[in-house]
């Protein structure tokens, strides 16, 4: 079956590369897309990197994957987008867009009549996600963020979809698998689930890493997921999985209530108890201290490395073991 996205076409057995314009109202984003249409039938899998700026591992790994995979080794259709939010990736290198200060991964599936970031989200869903059988969204700890590698998925209440989400998440080969208990919210994988598309979030690397070993770790994870989905054979040199995936429950983010300077007492990877002080925000003018406490008993899976914070800055996220 022909794979078509806008003016880009790939016949079975073809790989096609191109840049597609996304009208964001005040500007037009140029979105790079690679289509690998397999020589045999199979699922359509969409992989996005660069949904956030400053998260380079997914951008690099998808670019490499698009170069490495050839149609004759693919069963099904791959839609690969290494830079899904060009203003944020090439502009501020932050999780918010320099165009409007909006975090795109809070507004999916977007609004094509909204502001620039809402339009970007809507463009991705309309052009890339429509018709997908599985969706993988790649993130990292940003330039200011410590992070443990993890996979995220949602429980939706649809048993068949939940089983697919979980199986994909466990196929990644990362130890930390964290699920949210509803498909609500503007995260890409949650919004895809609400359209019936199995989807996961894969987080790899931290602090704006772009080192080859971390990219390799994600590339291996992508090969495992694609093998799990029946799209490719497992490569001979695929690194063996040495960990047992374990499910954790997402409890949300601890955000800053004030502007000031962040001094963490607990760091990413630490076990913390609900109510425990995990850090303090100090007012640089008068030294006023604002204690920040853990909202749950569990493990800090990512945390703010930067010193300066303002209301709403994500300071930490805590996951709780699932038994
Ligand atoms: Zn991200």
Query: 280-309: per-residue pLDDT in tens?
Result: 999 999 999 999 999 999 999 999 999 999
Residue 210 structure tokens? 């772009």
Sign of CA dihedral 99, 142, 175, 279: negative
- Per-residue pLDDT of 125-143, as tens digits, reads 999 999 999 999 999 999 9
Residue 3 has pLDDT above 90, yes or no: yes
Rounded to 10°, the helix 212-228/159-171 angle is 140
Task: Give the Å distance between the CA of 145 and the centre of ligand 1.
Answer: 10
Q: Specify the pLDDT at position 154.
A: 98
b/e per residue 83-111 (b: at least 16 CB within 10 A): bbbbbbbeeebbbbbebbebbbbebbbbe
What is the C-alpha to C-alpha distance for residues 109 and 90, in angstroms, rounded to an integer? 22
Q: Specify the pLDDT at position 179.
A: 98
Ion ligand 1 residues within 5 Å by Cβ = 52, 55, 139
Q: Specify the pLDDT at position 7.
A: 94
Higher pLDDT, 88 or 92: 88
When the pLDDT of each residue in the chain is averaged and rounded to a whole number, the result is 97
Q: How many helices (H) and strands (E) does the chain have?
A: 6, 19
Task: Give the Å distance between the CA of 58 and the centre of ligand 1.
Answer: 10
What is the C-alpha to C-alpha distance for residues 257 and 9, in angstroms, rounded to an integer? 49
What are the residues whose beta carbons fall under 8 Å from the beta carbon of 94, sequence distance 6 or more? 52, 53, 54, 88, 142, 143
What is the C-alpha to C-alpha distance for residues 258 and 260, in angstroms, rounded to an integer? 6
Task: Give the Å distance between the CA of 200 and the centre of ligand 1.
Answer: 13
- Cα distances from 172 to residues 127, 178, 201, 204, in angstroms, run 26, 12, 10, 11
What is the C-alpha to C-alpha distance for residues 302 and 130, in angstroms, rounded to an integer? 31
First-last CA distance in the chain: 44
Residue 116 structure tokens? 């620039």
Task: Give the Å distance between the CA of 142 and the centre of ligand 1.
Answer: 7
Task: Give the Å distance between the CA of 204 and the centre of ligand 1.
Answer: 10
Residue 323 has pLDDT above 90, yes or no: no
Task: Give the Å distance between the CA of 114 and the centre of ligand 1.
Answer: 21
Over range 236-245, report the average pLDDT: 90
Q: How confident is the model at residue 23 (pLDDT cuts 50, 70, 90)?
A: very high
Task: Give the Å distance between the CA of 223 and the centre of ligand 1.
Answer: 21
What are the residues whose beta carbons fall under 8 Å from the beta carbon of 67, sequence distance 6 or more? none
Q: Specify the pLDDT at position 239.
A: 87
- Per-residue pLDDT of 170-224, as tens digits, reads 999 999 999 999 999 999 999 999 999 999 999 999 999 999 999 999 999 999 9
Domains and CATH numbers, the chain: 3-244 (3.40.630.10), 250-321 (2.40.50.100)
Task: Give the Å distance between the CA of 263 and the centre of ligand 1.
Answer: 23
Over range 90-104, report the average pLDDT: 95
- Cα distances from 106 to residues 79, 97, 244, 293, in angstroms, run 22, 12, 30, 24
239 preceded by a cis bond (ω within 30 of 0): no
**What is the 8-class DSSP label of residue 215?**
H
- Count of CB atoms within 10 A of residue 56's CB? 22
């Amino acid at each position: 079956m022909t794979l078509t996205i806008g003016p880009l076409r790939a016949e079975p057995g073809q790989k096609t590369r191109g840049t597609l314009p996304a009208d964001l109202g005040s500007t037009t984003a140029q979105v790079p897309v690679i289509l690998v249409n397999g020589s045999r039938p199979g699922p359509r899998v969409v992989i996005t990197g660069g949904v956030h700026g400053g998260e380079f591992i997914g951008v690099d790994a998808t670019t490499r994957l698009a170069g490495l995979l050839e149609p004759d080794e693919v069963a099904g259709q791959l839609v690969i987008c290494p830079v899904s939010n060009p203003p944020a990736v090439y502009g501020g290198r932050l999780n918010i867009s320099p165009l409007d200060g909006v975090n795109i991964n809070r507004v999916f599936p977007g609004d094509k009549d909204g502001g620039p970031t809402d339009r970007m989200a809507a463009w991705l869903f309309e052009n890339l996600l429509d018709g997908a059988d599985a969706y993988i969204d790649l993130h990292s700890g940003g330039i200011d963020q410590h992070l443990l590698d993890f996979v995220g998925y949602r429980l939706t209440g649809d048993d068949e979809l939940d089983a697919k989400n979980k199986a994909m998440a466990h196929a990644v080969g990362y130890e930390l698998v964290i699920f949210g208990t509803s498909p609500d919210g503007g995260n890409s994988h949650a919004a895809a689930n609400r359209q019936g598309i199995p989807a996961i979030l894969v987080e790899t690397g931290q602090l704006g890493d772009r080192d080859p070993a971390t990219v390799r770790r994600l590339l291996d994870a992508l090969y495992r997921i694609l093998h799990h989905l029946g799209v490719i054979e497992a490569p001979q040199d695929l690194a063996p999985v040495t960990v047992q995936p374990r499910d954790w429950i997402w409890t949300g983010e601890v955000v800053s209530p004030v502007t000031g300077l962040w001094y963490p007492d607990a760091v990413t990877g630490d076990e913390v108890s609900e109510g425990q002080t995990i850090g303090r925000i100090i007012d640089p003018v008068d030294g006023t201290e604002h204690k920040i406490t853990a909202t749950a008993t569990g493990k800090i899976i990512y945390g703010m490395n930067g010193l300066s914070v303002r209301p709403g800055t994500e300071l930490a996220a805590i996951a709780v073991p699932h038994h």
